[in-house]
Amino acid sequence: MLRLIRARLAMLVIVLFGVSVITFLMAHVLPGDPTAALAGPHPSQETLNSIRSQFGLDKPLPVQYFKYLSNLFHGNLGTSIRSQQPITQEILAFFPATLELVTVAFLLAIGIGIPLGVIAAVKKNTFSDYVIRLFAVGGVSIPLFWGGLVMILIFYAKLGWLPASGRLDIELSSPKTITGFYFIDALFGGDKETFINVLKHLVMPSLALGYVQLAFIVRQVRSSMLDALSQDYYLTGRANGLSHKFLVVRYALRNALIPSITIIGLSFGSLLGGAVVTETVFDWPGMGKYVTDSILGRDFPAIMGFTVVIALAYVIINLLVDLLVYSLDPQTRK
Amino acid sequence: MTQRLRARFSAVSVFAVVGALALGMIASGPANAAISKTTLVVGMSADLDYLDPAATMDNAQWKITYPCYQRLVEYNGASTDVVPGLASAWRISRDHLTYTFTIKSGQKFSDGTAVTAKAVQYTFERLLKVAKGPADNFTAIASVRANGLKTVVFVLNQVSPQFLYTLAGNYGGIVNPATASKAVNGDSGQAYLADHTAGSGAYVLTEWKKGQYLKLEQNKFYGGKKPVLETVLFKIVGDASSQRLQLGKGEIDIAEGITSDQYAAVAKEDGNTVINKPSLTVDIMYINSGKGNAALKNTLVRQAISYALDYQGIMAATQAGNATQMNGPIPDGMWGQDPKGFQYTTNVTKAKALLAQAGVTNLSLDLLYSARKSWWASEAQLIQDNLAKAGITVNLKLTEYATARKMIDAGTFDLCLGTWSPDYADPSMFMNFWFDSGNFGLAGNRSFYSNPAVDKLIRSAASITDQKKRTALYIQAQKIVVEEAAYGYLYQMNYRLALRTDVKGFVYNPMIEQIYNLETMYKA
């Protein structure tokens, strides 16, 4: 296992280097000037040149890149051109919100999706299977923004049960940061009102985002489970008098989960970088909106910082998935 | 129900029941708490970038900084005139090169220190050193010196008739010199002032939760009359529909993000009202006569384009009629406008005749625009349709804003949509920026228009202070640039704002659009 971790960490360095080179080149090749906002709507050429010089944008690309890399080695992701704030500080402000949303959505998706997938497979071609599959098709085919808006219309506008946007009511103070997850921080802080309020804000965005993942998981688990149930060991077990339930829980599910875990785990990484629609519909103050604005404003350091963090998250998730598979599948230990 | 049927339903229904119970438990009670009468909540569409008065050039950020800082002079209510602000009086030398201001007594920054002449000197020296967008408006300053505690003297390197007005802009906000100690790596405190305020205005920024809200609270050392509003929250609600819903429920008091097509419906809803006033923002079309299609060098072709445009149709479709057709470059409400200025009206026959006279056939032009303004896509399509009727093919070039800006600066387009609003109340903001041949590209002359006679007139107007003479010169220049159809003079937009009816005291000033007079606003 240690060898696996070492290999993955070595890969991390290579991945980060590759990602930084590619992102740097892509960001700088795009036409557009990140200093536009600072220069104002009708800047003189002198002002434009002065600002470009202040941010080192007048230097040759290799010089700019090696300066960036040198800062990166010192743990410095640079300064945002748009906000003039350290990128690390910006990411720390936005990333926990995304991570909280994605984690809750993901837990919901797994918690509901895996059992539904198993039920659908075990009760293949029955009424339950059809209902679950229909439910799953909805998740992959209903556009997220539309589903989100419908939820807002029902639960906020009509019923008035849930808030439409944000992480917390504006009149309430944010819980003291411990983990960056508001619901955990509010729980630790013992503030019941804030905790309930945070949960209310989490319900709609996490359900909207989780539904898409749930649908994906149901389909994946059902398919893997059906495959497992057609294997010889299952039929042999049945022939030897073992119960269907015992075989499903003890053997088939375990085997069905192995291919699912890899795919489901990686989809968590893609969610981290792709929750932008949910964040936009529910005004969730996460990384998605931040990076979209950064791309539109050509804020190179912010784009690079985001990419490096997401790449890092991907590699770590990949490692965790490998470790999980390693512990579940004896074949991988050989 | 049979046992078999129950079994079918049980697996699926257990999830539904558990989900519904959880949702019900969380959802019990109102979705949001009520807002107090001394708190104003403004819903805005996007988070802000930075708040340093020496760097920001965006009215969206100014809505935070303007009430947190004071300026030597201030706009007078809804008028574009300036009146004493932090300066109780000022004197202008006979040669108009020296401005001497006397600082009002009893004014204090939010940390309790007194506002002195030294602070004014620090502010402007810092602004010029930072050298961001605002510095372009103060190139006339040769020096600024404090003379004792209460007197500050500006010496200009050239006559600048607009100088007094530039001081009323957001960048004229006087910054606490104590922020010098916050400088990091010689940045003159830019990183600190990017997310803090340090002025002597009625409010101070006390919290900025990125992506969520900004909170202003009263500056307890404010030297003016204590405001009624104790707290002002600027809440980020990106989605226009959500803003509308939240306004309707009274969760926000002002909704800035209402889209053009929603205002009429919002105004009819109980408890809502919409302010609708003429602004000084104009929507125009750059006609690239310098670097665009060679045919555009011909005045007759530019005139043909101006006659082919259906101004009323464009205003109706893009602004629901809440706009006024321009009759020249200077909008109504700004002094110096030619009241008898010629206004192009739609005349396709004349447009065709002008093209024939110019000997131009099969003209094909690229129209550049971005998605920065929601109405530009439909405006571009209408223009394409209008010009097609005159026999001109228009190719729509929807381009991402940052790229479009680069193209505008380089002049790589034929036609392009743009908006323009003045930074200060002076017609030079239109005439000198748009038509001076030394100002090509983003700097202002985006049609790459060049006429030595116009250069002479507008440069003369910008170098004297007599308003009457300046008006006469600008009117002469306006006649030429309208006759020569240097731009497509489309329309002057209305400013619209949706708010709750219990929000009182808001005064709209077209020079400081999107900025609220929080000091005198209240909720009834």
Nearest-angstrom CA–CA distance, B397 and B404: 9
| pLDDT at residue B5 in the model | 42
The strand pairing partners of B500, in sequence order, are B272
Burial of A103 (C-beta count, 10 Å sphere; 0-12/13-18/19+): middle
Residues making up chain A, counted from first to last: 334
Residue B48 sits at φ, ψ, to 5 deg, of -100, 165
Closest-CA residue to B192 (of A199, A184, A79): A79
Cα-based distances in Å from B61 to A76, A307, B195, B232 = 27, 27, 11, 15
Which residue in A30, A119, A171 is closest to B33 by CB distance? A171
Contact A88, A301 (CB under 8 A): no
Chain A interface includes B169 (CB < 8 A): no
Nearest-angstrom CA–CA distance, B147 and B117: 7
Which residues 6+ apart lie within 8 Å of A318 measured at CB?
Answer: A8, A265, A266, A269
CB contact under 8 A, A40 and B195: no
**Cβ neighbours of A159 in B, within 8 Å:** 27
Give helix A2-29 / helix A61-73 axis angle, nearest 10°: 150
In Å, how far from its chain's centre is CA B219? 26
Secondary structure (DSSP) of A58-127 = TS-HHHHHHHHHHHHHTT---B-TTT-SBHHHHHHHHHHHHHHHHHHHHHHHHHHHHHHHHHHHHTTTSH
| pLDDT at residue B211 in the model | 87
Whole-complex ipTM: 0.78
Chain B interface includes A28 (CB < 8 A): no
Query: Where does residue A177 fall: left (phi above 0), alpha (psi -120 to 50 degrees), or beta otherwise?
Result: beta
Half-sphere exposure of A258 toward its Cβ, with a 13 Å CA cutoff? 14
CB contact under 8 A, A285 and B136: no
Radius of gyration over every alpha carbon of chain A, rounded to an integer in angstroms: 24
Q: Which residue from B minimizes the CA distance to A31?
A: B403
Cα-based distances in Å from B53 to A309, B68, B254, B514 = 32, 10, 24, 16
The DSSP bridge pattern shows strands B254-255 and B39-44 to be: parallel
Question: Would you state the structure tokens that stand for residue A216, as one six-digit string?
Answer: 């994906």
Q: Which amino acid is residue B197, in one-letter code? A: T
The strand pairing partners of B232, in sequence order, are B40, B216
CB contact under 8 A, A149 and B433: no
Contact B386, B309 (CB under 8 A): yes
In Å, how far from its chain's centre is CA B456? 29
CB contact under 8 A, B211 and A163: no
The strand pairing partners of B141, in sequence order, are B156
Residues making up chain B, counted from first to last: 524
| pLDDT at residue B196 in the model | 96
A189-238 pLDDT, tens digit per residue, is 888 889 999 999 999 999 999 888 888 889 889 998 898 888 888 888 88
Which residue in B31, B133, B237 is closest to A200 by CB distance? B31
Contact B254, B500 (CB under 8 A): yes
The separation between the first and the last C-alpha atoms of chain A, rounded to the nearest angstrom, is 11
| pLDDT at residue B411 in the model | 96
| pLDDT at residue B403 in the model | 87
Which residue in A45, A48, A94 is closest to B211 by CB distance? A94
- The pTM of the full predicted model, rounded to 2 decimals, is 0.85
Chain A interface includes B238 (CB < 8 A): yes
Q: Which amino acid is residue A243, in one-letter code? A: S
The distance of B142 to chain A (nearest Cα, Å) reads 17
Contact B227, B519 (CB under 8 A): yes
Radius of gyration over every alpha carbon of chain B, rounded to an integer in angstroms: 27
CB contact under 8 A, B212 and A90: no
Residue reference for tokens 């381009």: B399
CB contact under 8 A, B211 and A174: no
Taking residue B100's Cβ as centre, other Cβ atoms within 10 Å add up to 16
| pLDDT at residue B7 in the model | 47
A 186-205 residues with CB < 8 A to B: 196, 199-200, 203
- Point out the residues of chain A with pLDDT beneath 50: none
The distance of B37 to chain A (nearest Cα, Å) reads 13
Q: Which residue from A minimizes the CA distance to B45?
A: A283
Chain B interface includes A157 (CB < 8 A): yes
CB contact under 8 A, A40 and B235: no
Chain A interface includes B186 (CB < 8 A): no
Strands (E), B20-121: 39-44, 73-75, 82-84, 87-92, 98-103
Closest-CA residue to B422 (of B408, B439, B434): B434
Which residue in B8, B194, B443 is closest to A85 by CB distance? B194
CB contact under 8 A, A289 and B32: no
Number of helical H runs and strand E runs in chain B: 15, 19
Q: Report the alpha-carbon angle B225-B231-B235, nearest 5.
A: 135
Closest-CA residue to B373 (of B493, B246, B497): B493
- Tens place of pLDDT for every residue, chain B, 524 residues? 444 444 444 544 555 555 554 555 455 555 555 678 999 999 998 889 889 999 998 888 999 999 999 999 999 999 989 999 999 999 999 999 999 999 999 999 999 999 999 999 999 999 999 999 899 999 999 999 999 999 999 999 999 999 999 999 999 999 999 999 999 888 899 999 999 999 999 999 999 998 899 999 999 999 999 999 999 999 999 888 889 999 999 999 999 999 888 898 999 999 999 999 999 999 999 999 999 999 999 999 999 999 999 999 999 999 988 999 999 999 999 999 998 899 999 999 999 999 999 999 999 999 999 998 989 999 999 999 999 999 999 999 999 888 898 899 999 999 999 999 999 999 999 999 999 999 999 999 999 999 999 999 999 999 999 999 999 999 999 999 999 999 999 999 999 999 999 999 999 999 998 999 999 999 99
Closest-CA residue to A280 (of A77, A144, A155, A172): A144
| pLDDT at residue B30 in the model | 52
CB contact under 8 A, B239 and A127: no
| A67 DSSP 8-state letter | H
Taking residue A267's Cβ as centre, other Cβ atoms within 10 Å add up to 19
The DSSP bridge pattern shows strands B73-75 and B87-92 to be: unpaired
Q: Which residue from A minimizes the CA distance to B244?
A: A157
Q: Report the alpha-carbon angle A113-A271-A333, nearest 5.
A: 70
Nearest-angstrom CA–CA distance, B111 and B367: 52
Closest-CA residue to A244 (of A110, A114, A121): A121
Residues of A223-248 as b/e, b for ≥16 C-beta within 10 angstroms? bbbbebbeeeebeebeeeeeeeeebb
